[in-house]
Structures are given as C-alpha cells and as structure tokens.
Structure 1
C-alpha cells in the first residue's frame, strides 16, 4: 500500500485518481471550508485539515510518504489572470508548500515523489522565470525531475491541457523504460520545450524526459454525458435560445446550421467571449464548438465563464447552462460522488479540480512502477 499527502486537495479528485486499492491518504489540506465539507462527505473524517497552508509545519505531517501531491492555485499563473505569478497571493502558496517539503527533507522524511499540477500558463509566467524557479527547487532538493503537458481530452471529452512537474528523490530507483532520450510530441508540448530551453542549465541538471504510454482511445463524447432533466439548471426558453444564437458570428452560426443538417443529435459547448468587431467595437459573442468535446471548465467568476450547452436535433435547438453533474462527469468523477447542492459551488469544485483518469494514468504508468522498483534497482542517471 502506497501512502500520500494531498495538498490543495479541493474535493479529493487526486485521491479518486490514485484509488483506494493501492493508495492510502496520510494527510490532506485545503483552506476552503465548502470544498472541505465535500471532501469529508466523500472520503470521511480523519485526514483532512482545513487550514491555510502557511499555518502548517512538518509536525502536522505524520511519517514518510511515497507521494506528495500539490495542485496549488492557478489564478496568478493563468493567462487570464493578473500576471502576478509565483509572487501572487494565490499561486504564491507554492512557496509555503515547498517550505514543508524542505522541512521533511531536513528531517530525513523526504517524499519519494513530489508531483505538482497547474495550468500551462506556468510555462510562460514572468517570461519563464516562474517555471525556472520551480525547476530550481527540485534541483536544489536533489530530485530527478521532468514535466509533462497532458490534455484531459485523451481521457474525457473536455479540452483541458495541464502541466505536471514530477520529481523523484535522489537515490530512488527509476526503471529505464520510464525515461526517454528525447521529448515526445504527445506529452511534451512546444511551450514546454521552449520553457525547458529557457531554463538556466544549473536549474535542469537533474532533468529527465518522462515516458508515458499513449492512452487507449477515448470511448465517450460530450453528448454521452448530458442529462435530459438536470436537477440544478433549467432549459432556456425559446426566446433566450434565439438570443444566444443572435450573439453568434457568421462562422459560429454556420456551425449550428451544419449541425441542423446532420443526421444525429449534436451537443455543442458554448462560452461567451468579448470580441472586437470590424468597427473596433467590443461586443459579446457566443462561440460554439461541435467537435464532441467540451471547452475547458473554469471557475464561475462571472456569467461569461460558465459554460453553456446547445443541443441540436434537426431543426430543434435547445440551450442551457451545463449542469453540476455534467461538470463532474467531465472531470471523470463517478455519479455516486457527492456534489454540493449549490450550483455555483458544484461548478467551482469541478473547475478547480484535477481530471481523475489523468491522475490514474500517471499513477499506473509512472508513480507505481517507480515505487514498486525501489529500492532494488539502480537509479537511471539523468
């Protein structure tokens, strides 16, 4: 049985991805009381501490674990954020997390694996300096590390690329099959390659290119996850649906017309975005996609950040907000997972989470092979 710490735990989606068969949570932390209530509703009492990570010390962390996972806040690293990066109030919580890791290292309780997850904006934040700073923390701590960009669309019908930085403690065994000589187009994006090249050599001396197998083809499309009669949102009136269509550009209206002519029910995902028209005037547009994949879920900071769906069957067109259960399904959560009863809270929980099958893929093909190999195999040099 492997053991882990889960920081910035939210509703426990990392815990869901690791699974209860091979993994046991020793400690979890989140500062949000509403998310903590859902975590406890699904995972029980005992492991979760609801507190600001800045108030924690190594005394709160019992024993030595195989994995420490941190999905620290993305707001200051997001391309839509204010650009504060790791100096921001939210994304800057990476540093108190790393202080905890340094305390564990000094006490000879260093986690065998440390995994970070965040938005891909981390790669370009402050002209790549924030990514380089994270690399330096792993290098200075003596961890062999590398990064991957994984789009959840390989596993669930949601476009959601995320950055994963994974380090293995110096001296731990790394099976040779888990490291490749060169980056892979599937897992190492152009943005990651650029960030790696721009990181000073001293910050990537322990860098490796992690190797993951290609996942099986996804067997679901967006329409498979849609509820006919959701409990928390209502279908729009015909007038409101017409208003939504009127907000579309010619290009997006053409997509709807093509969906009407098709011989199957199609479900489109819509976000409202502010665009500049031909006269230089800012207008709000409804932009739709019919590629069987939802847009990336975001936290509902405003009306424009809530995703809508457009169901087209022949000449019949209906629209509404995406439901809370649908957002959970897009994150790979089972229907028995308990959600908040409040719509915005359910949406926020999902939009802030980690896609469950992505975590499982990492656990099955990277974490668990490393941990099962240790300490019998020799470490593969970076």
Structure 2
C-alpha cells in the first residue's frame, strides 16, 4: 500500500514481506521481480539494490506496540527477546550496512501504531530516534490519522528522515509542534530524548488536507461480495452484548428516521462486579473503527445498519475494508475473507502515504524525474 500511495512516478526496486499470502497479493498487483519473500533478519545488503535509493520505507509489525501485543515493545538491538516488532532491528542493520557501503538511502520512513510513543515507557520511541540520529539522519515524527482522508479512525506514527547533507526546503520545516500532527503524547516523547538526538530533530510542516467529503455509509454495499447479512437472531445477539450507553445510541439512530450506518467491535470489558464480559460497542459518527487483522486485537469489524425500527448487521466486506484503506476497487485482494481482511488491516492508508510523499519526501528529493523505493513491510 505504500507503493500504491507513492504513485506511478516512483519505481520500486525491492520489497520484502515474511507472509507468503501478502507476498502473493503484492505480486498479483505489481508483478514479480522486486518482491523477495522471507524473514528480513535473513537478508543481507547483497540482497538489496546495488545503488543509492531515494527512499527506504519500513512498516514493521505493530502487535508488540499495541494492546493486542501487551506492549512488549521493540526489544533491544541485539537481545535474545523475540518480538514481532523487533524486526525493526534487522531492518536497521540493513540500513547501516548500506550506509557503510556508501549507499545510505536519501530518505527513510518508518510507520507504526500510536503505541510506539509510549511503549516501554517511551524507550522504543527513543531507540528509533537514536538509531536515526546516530546514522546521520535529520528526522521528525508525526501522528497522522487516516480519518483526514478516508472514513476510518486510524492514527499512525510516521518517522520521516532525510540523510545528512540533503537540501531540505525551509518551507517544510515548522518552528515547533503543529496541533494537527504533533499531539501532547508525541511532544512528551520528544522532550524525553537525549540532547544529541534532539539536535537532529525537525518538526515537519505538513499542510492540513482538504476536508474529507466521504462518510462510512458511502462505502457500504447492499449486496457485498464475500459476506452475507446476519439473521435477525444474530443481530439481536449483538445488541444483547451492548451496555445501556450503546443501546441508547441505537435507539437514537432509530428515532432519527434516517438510514444510519455504524461500526461495531466486540471487546472484553469488566462489568459492575469486576468480571470480564464480552461487549459490543457501536459508533455512529460516519467513521469506521480502526481496521485490525482478523487474528488479533478487536478482530473483524461488524457494521450495523439502522433504518427506523429495522436493524441489520453483517461483517464488513473485504472490498469495503479496502476502500477504508484508500485502495481502488481494481486492487486485487486474496480470495479468502480472512486473508483479504488481513491485507487491509495490516496495511498503511494509501492517501496518507501520498500526502507525506507530496509535501515532505518529494520536496526533499526534488530534481529527480523518477524516484526509487526500497520497501520492507
């Protein structure tokens, strides 16, 4: 999805993913040649393009930096603790290898969940920042919510770094934090960095995009492919899992007399006695909840359609999930539901990538007619 967001003016030289299904999906959409499947820890600089690339992009696994992974974190660079998000260090070893050979990427983007600001008491954020600074990159981080572009709540942290010596236009550097992209949690994480790392920090001046015009209801289909509407009994079961607060939201939607579409997640919450119970939580704010992989976190997202007293429910379809990620309808998804949902829930929002490329990466790289991309997802 990073490649889709960058656009046709970029040329991908190398891509990597451990998951065979995602490798196959990439090749269906982009063809074979630049994708190398397998563990990033098994790669060496010999596997990478023998030239200096304009961009290296890494969207490393988020499970250990989120609630689903119990915030286990990145781990240390050379420890024996195996965490999925710890794949950052093998990726960074490759970046250092390229730099040692005089091929350091001109820019680097690292993308992960909001939790990377606070995981392990901020140590993960500091470790990433220190790695960039010690390798002679000027960098900054921004929290970009996909809801600026698509009807999905999906805040993600983007580290954007430019190699020392690159000419960075003053117009894309802000004097300080910007409210749209630098929340208090990011500012706090920055303030905890050591003095030497801060010397390489920049506050990126990212313009606010045009107001989003699409709503969650706009991407929902009456006859979707790959899913069916629930039986009335199953819909009643979902409603039975709601607390009075969420049942009132449904009642308000009924009273509106309009067709209202909401998204539902099942979560485990303590009841009034302290016992954990499964609960269904609904939102009717024209924005879907954050897509996740079907095997973790809050799992698959359910939609609830309310028209007067008629309430229907079903799973979000794979194509609808793809639209929430900003993918075009001609993007080829895996045939199986869980695989297709996994591809979407594990991806990066396409228009967010385009926005960062247009306003930060391409101004830094201006002067090249075709940009090259080295991606590890």
TM range (shorter): over 0.9
Find the partner of 2:178 among 177, 184, 205: 184
Show structure 2 runs of 5+ residues with no match.
Answer: 76-81, 369-377
Distance (whole Å) between structure 2 residues aligned to residue 347 and residue 154 of structure 1: 22
Shift of 1:61: 1.3
Partner of 2:29: 42
What pairs up with 1:220-299 in 2 under 5 angstroms? 220-299=214-293
CA distances 1:168-202 after superposition (whole Å, capped 9, x unpaired): 00000000010011100100011101111111222
2:5 counterpart of 1:17: yes
Contact 1:128 1:199 in 2 (8 A): no
Distance (whole Å) between structure 1 residues aligned to residue 11 and residue 132 of structure 2: 25
Change (3 A) 1:216 1:55: same
Show structure 1 runs of 5+ residues with no match.
Answer: 1-12, 375-382
2:19 counterpart of 1:32: yes
Indicate the RMSD between aligned Cα atoms, in angstroms. 1.2
Distance (whole Å) between structure 1 residues aligned to residue 38 and residue 237 of structure 2: 44
Find the partner of 1:100 among 78, 94, 103: 94
Find the partner of 1:52 among 26, 39, 46: 39
2:213 counterpart of 1:219: yes
Contact 1:120 1:161 in 2 (8 A): yes
2:145 counterpart of 1:151: yes
What pairs up with 1:192-207 in 2 under 5 angstroms? 192-207=186-201
Change (3 A) 1:351 1:198: same
Distance (whole Å) between structure 2 residues aligned to residue 89 and residue 274 of structure 1: 24
TM-score, normalised via structure 1 length: 0.92
Contact 1:143 1:206 in 2 (8 A): yes
Distance (whole Å) between structure 2 residues aligned to residue 158 and residue 123 of structure 1: 21
Change (3 A) 1:164 1:295: same
Aligned length: 361
Distance (whole Å) between structure 2 residues aligned to residue 166 and residue 246 of structure 1: 45
Contact 2:126 2:193 in 1 (8 A): yes
Distance (whole Å) between structure 1 residues aligned to residue 308 and residue 52 of structure 2: 59
Distance (whole Å) between structure 2 residues aligned to residue 140 and residue 152 of structure 1: 31
Change (3 A) 1:203 1:304: closer
Contact 2:68 2:296 in 1 (8 A): no
Task: Say which SS state the counterpart of residue 171 (structure 1) adopts.
Answer: coil
Contact 1:119 1:161 in 2 (8 A): yes
Change (3 A) 1:146 1:303: closer
2:342 counterpart of 1:344: no
Distance (whole Å) between structure 1 residues aligned to residue 59 and residue 335 of structure 2: 24
Shift of 1:120: 1.1
Contact 2:266 2:280 in 1 (8 A): yes
Shift of 1:270: 0.2
Shift of 1:216: 0.4
Shift of 1:100: 0.6
* Residues 302-311 or 327-336, more deviating: 302-311
2:56 counterpart of 1:68: yes
* Residues 31-40 or 364-373, more deviating: 364-373
Task: Say which SS state the counterpart of residue 165 (structure 1) adopts.
Answer: strand
Shift of 1:252: 0.5
Partner of 1:6: none
Shift of 1:83: 2.6
Query: Relative contact order (C-alpha < 8 Å, sep 6+): which is higher?
Result: 2
Shift of 1:59: 1.3
Distance (whole Å) between structure 2 residues aligned to residue 302 and residue 171 of structure 1: 42
